[in-house]
Structure 1
Amino acid sequence: MKNIKKKLDDNIQHIKYLFNQTSDLVVRNLKFGNEKSEHAAILYIDGIIDTQIIQDVVIKPILHFKETVEVKNNLINLVSEVIESVNVKTNSEFQEIVDAIVNGKTAILIEGHDIGIIVDNPMWNERSIEEAHGERVPVGPTIGLTEKLKSNINILRSIIKSPMLCVENTEMGLISKTQVSIIYMNGIVEKGVLKKVQSRLSNLSVKYILEARIIDEVIEGQKSIFNLNKTTERPDVLASALYEGKVGVIVEGTPFAIITPSLFIDAFQTPDDYYFKAGRFTTRIIRLMGFFLSVYLPAIYVTLEKFHQDEYSKKIVKSLFSDGELLPAFWEMLFLIILLKMLTDASFRIPKSAIILISLVATIVIGETAVTAKIIHPASLITIGITFLASFLIVYRGLADSMATLRFIFLLIAVFFGFSGLIVGTTILILYMTNLKSAGVPYLTPLIPFRYKELKDTLYRGDLKTLINSKHSYPEEK
């Protein structure tokens, strides 16, 4: 059956069938009206609704409902009007009733009527608002987003107190529906970007959504080693992006927001840049240097060791490249990169009580023992240490995977082709990045294509008053 029937028992049995006779589906039968002649059923999932609210705003008003001859044919509308809830609607389709129940709402069916009443009163368990752990800053707001979409919208509206803030809600998933919200500032948002996001999401067809990564990939629209969208767990970062004309997407159950377009230069900006007076001209340059060190330093070391040892004295060669170690520089780099990757991965997954032990073991294995045993040269250890330290400057802003991939690619190029290969590889990388687009916006803008007016918030932070009052614009896709 597609539509609700007038026979109450048939409707209840069909809903139980659709829920596979699950034991937590509660059916509360009741009689109301002057002579208790009207029969109704209240259906909900136990544990995800507030039963006290059901008792106060649904059952009591219905039981006190006074029926007259004039209202007999308009019973559904009148019953829905007496329910003391801000969100009440009616629907005649079984699928809508079922979707409402699984989303923590309450359905009311009445004998002799082929329309159901839906009352919104969910009681989902959720964690309290906490500090944003992945994007900590020394100055500024510290709260992070949660897994509940409505809570996130509430936080965002507490920051952006404007009717220009628009939220478009949609449900995705064939088996299990997940709510997704597209957020933007009307009148400020880049229309082309918004249309592209709306179009790509409207074409998504999946059975279910457990995390926002599938949404992220759909919005990106192409495969790339770079993240063409930015993710953030900070509501203030999301608010700032919306003021700049960008589009945000929040997925129910995911404690972070997706921001598009995301440009290469965005990875070197942090929220506290706008709170400090110092560092306007140096902080982002240092982060950019960290990116280059993280990507190129191991490759440069391998190139110098393999192709240019003869250009240095024996003392320098012994100090920097070779002192009878078992492994050549390339394998030292590869070994250390893999070992540190294992250590990083393990540190996020083992119990917190074991982190100190892992750190101690890693220090012994990677440090003193490997050097003393003549397996790894001390300079190799220093090189990898600087590489990973530099990567931590921007690891949480979308370039972690990109840096790891590029580091390995340039390491391979270096061992075979030296500096000539690195120059050619860098040229190909720039051409590749030039052709990338984030929601239709060139990934390297405003550097390529060069846009002088947009440089005010790139490698340096411009005057705050000028930044706040200026309008951001993005080159349109051709």
Structure 2
Amino acid sequence: MIKKELHECLQDNISNIKNTFHHTSDLIVRKIKTGFPNSFEINIVYLDGIIDTDRIQEYVVKPLLEPFKTLEFKESLIDEIIERIFETADVKTTNQYKGLIDAIVQGNTIILINGYQKGIIIPSAKWKERSLEESQGERSPKGPVIGLTEQMKTNINLIRSTIKTPDLCVEAMEFGTISKTAVSILFIAGTVDKGILMEVRKRLKSLKIKYLLNSKVVEYVLEGKPRTIFNLARTTGRIDGVVSSLYEGRVAIIVDGFPHAIITPTLFMDMFQAPDEYHVKMGWFTNRIIRMICFILAVYSPGVYVAIANFHKDDLPNKVSKAIITKDELLPTFWELAILLFFIRVLLDASFRIPKSAVILLSLIGTIVVGETAVTAKLIHPVSLIIVGITAISSYLLANRGTLAAENTLRLLFLIIAHFFGFNGLIIASTILIIYMVSLKSLGVPYLSPLIPFRIQELKDTFYRGDLQTLINSKHTYTEDND
């Protein structure tokens, strides 16, 4: 059983550390003989492969081996070593085993001296990371292109390089009982909504897990319960996306090991914004309206088509009815759309699972099966293909904003309702949907804000992108539910 505090006996400490790491072969314990007047038995402990060995050799081992005549007081030896020998920043000490073990796991080097019940922690981590690249999930034709990386410190560095103010605050937390993962909360003091910040801290502190393998766990905690098909906390892989959210008074959460940040609170209207809108003149008024129309098409198109085919084909002109409604096709309209949507979903999933070299072949096979062959064989109506095509394209327009889950669920739900109840069912279902969305809150902020509750002063960056100078100088506020 390992004690909480270190022993004065060096060998006992080393034995306990080796037992904790189950005698793993990459745990290195190096014994050195110092150049001090009174020789001390010193061990250097680290995990091989995750530290900068050149740095340790140059700034730790080499200074310890050099003669140093003035270090004579046993009571202050560790303090004198830290102050006068080590040429590294942020040197810490601990007398706790847990702190020592955590430091080794995080890529630090530990120095233990026989006769002293305290260990020295030297920062030496050298984690492998990819170079800075363009954000692949949120590409933009104009504006900053650098995306976040898997290293949290690199991401914070990039954000601080843009937000050059002492008001930018970073709060560090750790989660996991088996393996600890660092999580940072970022906000701008004086700009952030204090109520939202307090709620973020409260919800994160409630997270109790063995390990943090996916940042989605943090998103779920921030969203709260019960679960919903809408994103109440969104992610972004762009630096400018994080920066603009912080300037708006929101909170960003970065999880070490994941190349994106979680932004909260998240509102429904955020899904229709895009980073390039703030860098180009074209589309300042129409872009978001087009995306809203596409969201409606993605959700309602199949259901509306089925409702017309099942209940209102006699209300259409005879020529129009013959052109767009199934006649002698094998499958009814409902099943045509259901099977086509299912097949499109399979193609999408398969395109991410197979080797890149086979994607073209998959596309060719999918085109043959779903397209001309199915129509020629009179399995499906050509208009059904058009409807599904419009639906798919409209869905993918907002895919990187996190709307796919809501779109897929609502589309299927409305398709079934339209098949049995027609337009009356769609109207009732839409009313229930709006009532449900009104009840949603992201960290206490109404999800449909600033539309419901209506706040005219916040509409300047909602349906269209307002004047940039006005947006920059205006203060964003959020309607909170404090009940």
- Please, what TM-score do these two structures have when normalized by structure 1? 0.98
CA distance in 1, matches of 2:71, 2:169: 45
Which runs of structure 2 are paired with 1:28-47 in the superposition (5 Å)? 28-35=30-37, 37-47=39-49
What's the offset of the Cα at 1:323?
2.7
Q: Does 1:7 align with 2:39?
A: no
CA distance in 2, matches of 1:451, 1:34: 72
SS in 2 for 1:237: helix
Q: Which runs of 5+ in 2 are unaligned?
A: none
Are the equivalent residues in 1 in contact too, given 2:438–2:452 (CA < 8 A)? yes
Are the equivalent residues in 1 in contact too, given 2:167–2:188 (CA < 8 A)? yes
Are the equivalent residues in 2 in contact too, given 1:4–1:11 (CA < 8 A)? yes
Encode CA deviations 1:151-185: one digit per residue, 9 max, x unaligned: 00011111111111100011110000000000000
Instruction: State the AA in 1 paired with 2:338.
Output: L
Are the equivalent residues in 1 in contact too, given 2:37–2:67 (CA < 8 A)? no
Encode CA deviations 1:387-406: one digit per residue, 9 max, x unaligned: 11111221110111111111
- Counterpart in 2 of 1:58? 60
Instruction: State the AA in 2 paired with 1:42.
Output: I
- Aligned residues: CA RMSD: 1.1
CA distance in 2, matches of 1:342, 1:354: 15
SS in 1 for 2:174: strand
CA distance in 2, matches of 1:253, 1:456: 36
CA distance in 2, matches of 1:211, 1:252: 10
Specify which of 377, 380, 384 is matched with residue 384 of structure 2. 380
Q: Does 1:115 align with 2:128?
A: no
- Counterpart in 1 of 2:217? 214
- Residue-pair matches, total: 478
- Counterpart in 2 of 1:23? 25
CA distance in 1, matches of 2:456, 2:67: 69
CA distance in 2, matches of 1:133, 1:26: 39
What's the offset of the Cα at 1:65?
5.4
Instruction: State the AA in 2 paired with 1:325.
Output: E
- Counterpart in 2 of 1:247? 251
- Counterpart in 1 of 2:51? 49
What's the offset of the Cα at 1:351?
1.3
CA distance in 1, matches of 2:13, 2:326: 81
- Counterpart in 1 of 2:412? 408
CA distance in 2, matches of 1:393, 1:36: 72
Encode CA deviations 1:55-80: one digit per residue, 9 max, x unaligned: 01111112225255752211111112
Are the equivalent residues in 2 in contact too, given 1:263–1:445 (CA < 8 A)? yes
What's the offset of the Cα at 1:147?
0.3
CA distance in 2, matches of 1:68, 1:146: 46
Q: Does 1:396 align with 2:400?
A: yes
Question: Greater CA deviation, 313-322 or 370-379?
Answer: 313-322
- Counterpart in 2 of 1:300? 304
Are the equivalent residues in 2 in contact too, given 1:65–1:79 (CA < 8 A)? no
Q: Does 1:283 align with 2:272?
A: no
SS in 2 for 1:348: helix
Instruction: State the AA in 1 paired with 2:301.
Output: L
Q: Which runs of 5+ in 1 are unaligned?
A: none
Q: Does 1:175 align with 2:175?
A: no
- Counterpart in 1 of 2:75? 73
What's the offset of the Cα at 1:30?
1.0
- Counterpart in 1 of 2:448? 444
What's the offset of the Cα at 1:314?
4.1
Are the equivalent residues in 2 in contact too, given 1:148–1:252 (CA < 8 A)? yes
Specify which of 303, 322, 344 is matched with residue 340 of structure 1. 344
Q: Does 1:464 align with 2:468?
A: yes
- Counterpart in 2 of 1:326? 330
CA distance in 2, matches of 1:226, 1:160: 30
Encode CA deviations 1:18-56: one digit per residue, 9 max, x unaligned: 000000000001121434620010000000001111101
CA distance in 2, matches of 1:364, 1:56: 65
CA distance in 2, matches of 1:132, 1:333: 34
CA distance in 1, matches of 2:400, 2:334: 27
CA distance in 2, matches of 1:169, 1:380: 52
- Counterpart in 2 of 1:366? 370
- Please, what TM-score do these two structures have when normalized by structure 2? 0.97
What's the offset of the Cα at 1:318?
2.5
Which runs of structure 2 are paired with 1:264-283 in the superposition (5 Å)? 264-283=268-287
Question: Greater CA deviation, 77-86 or 364-373?
Answer: 77-86
- Counterpart in 1 of 2:205? 202
CA distance in 1, matches of 2:443, 2:145: 29
Instruction: State the AA in 1 paired with 2:164.
Output: K
CA distance in 2, matches of 1:316, 1:240: 49
Instruction: State the AA in 2 paired with 1:287.
Output: R
SS in 2 for 1:16: helix
Which runs of structure 2 are paired with 1:147-186 in the superposition (5 Å)? 147-186=150-189
CA distance in 1, matches of 2:133, 2:254: 18
CA distance in 2, matches of 1:362, 1:437: 41
CA distance in 2, matches of 1:92, 1:234: 41
CA distance in 2, matches of 1:65, 1:421: 87
Question: Greater CA deviation, 67-76 or 265-274?
Answer: 67-76
CA distance in 2, matches of 1:368, 1:69: 86
Instruction: State the AA in 1 paired with 2:82.
Output: S
- Counterpart in 2 of 1:224? 228
Specify which of 85, 89, 99 is matched with residue 88 of structure 2. 85
What's the offset of the Cα at 1:349?
2.0
Are the equivalent residues in 1 in contact too, given 2:460–2:466 (CA < 8 A)? yes
CA distance in 2, matches of 1:313, 1:198: 61
| Percent of residue pairs identical | 54
Are the equivalent residues in 1 in contact too, given 2:36–2:71 (CA < 8 A)? no
SS in 1 for 2:231: coil
- Counterpart in 1 of 2:260? 256
CA distance in 2, matches of 1:12, 1:164: 43
SS in 1 for 2:73: helix
